[in-house]
Amino acid sequence: MKNARPLPSYLVQRYHGWRATTHAENKAWYRRLADEGQRPRAMIISCCDSRIHVTSIFGADEGEFFIHRNIAGLVPPYAPDGDHHGTSAAVEYAVTVLKVANLLVVGHSNCGGVRGCHDMCAGLAPQLEEKTSFIGRWMDLLRPSYERQAGIADESERLRAMEKEAVLVSIENLMTFPFVQAAVEAESLTLHGLWNDIGEGVVECYDPETGKFMPV
């Protein structure tokens, strides 16, 4: 395995800092996490974007959130076809094994994945149309949203509408998983759609009464 190299020094330093402070001061807590296993209350699905920091936003400690991140924070529809489905596996584990009480889908402003879908559908990113583009094929999940929002003249408003619709598409897709549907119907699981404005630091939550995202 010659391609796995030693850790870069900037990360080694940060690790030693963490071990000497945070870990050293909370040793019993880490020991208990290891011994008792995880019992997270919520699952969070968000974008890979490095600016999205759900553990900071919600002030979370280790063991509190079961987190899955992918491009644009999307959930695909239920497809038991024997293929490799990372997101679906994470949802299955969170709902059927960990039995989380809340599942949050977190979209965000300035999302590059959503921008990619927008540009692909607008004919501006032919490379994403290639069969070999993993990003393009993943963002196909959001293609219908482009059609629905195409009437919005202002591009940044159109992108924002697509970012929020991506959250709702994911929640709709979550409900196609039989175990998610069963847990929601049994009221042991609630689904929540959020959107985070990076620059403003605002988090909005989808309100089913108004059909809009409202500041929390």
DSSP conformation letters of 102-117: EEEEEEETT-HHHHHH
Smallest separation, CB 29 to Zn ion (Å)? 32
User: Which CB atom, from 91 or from 111, has the smaller least distance to Zn ion?
Assistant: 111
User: Which CB atom, from 49 or from 165, has the smaller least distance to Zn ion?
Assistant: 49
Smallest separation, CB 125 to Zn ion (Å)? 16
Q: Which of 207, 204, 216 is nearest to 106 (CA)?
A: 204
User: Which CB atom, from 7 or from 124, has the smaller least distance to Zn ion?
Assistant: 124
Tokens (6 digits) for 14 = 């940060």
User: Which CB atom, from 42 or from 72, has the smaller least distance to Zn ion?
Assistant: 72
Is 108 part of any known ligand binding site? yes
Residues contributing to the site for Zn ion (CB under 5 A)? 47, 49, 111, 113
Is 47 part of any known ligand binding site? yes
End-to-end CA separation in angstroms for the chain: 48
Smallest separation, CB 166 to Zn ion (Å)? 9
- Answer whether 135's CB lies under 8 Å from 128's CB: yes
Q: Which of 114, 178, 189 is nearest to 149 (CA)?
A: 114
Q: In angstroms, rounded to a whole number, what is the distance separating the alpha carbons of residues 71 and 213?
A: 21
Smallest separation, CB 74 to Zn ion (Å)? 10
Secondary structure class of 183 (helix, strand, coil): helix
Binding residues for Zn(2+): 47, 49, 108, 111
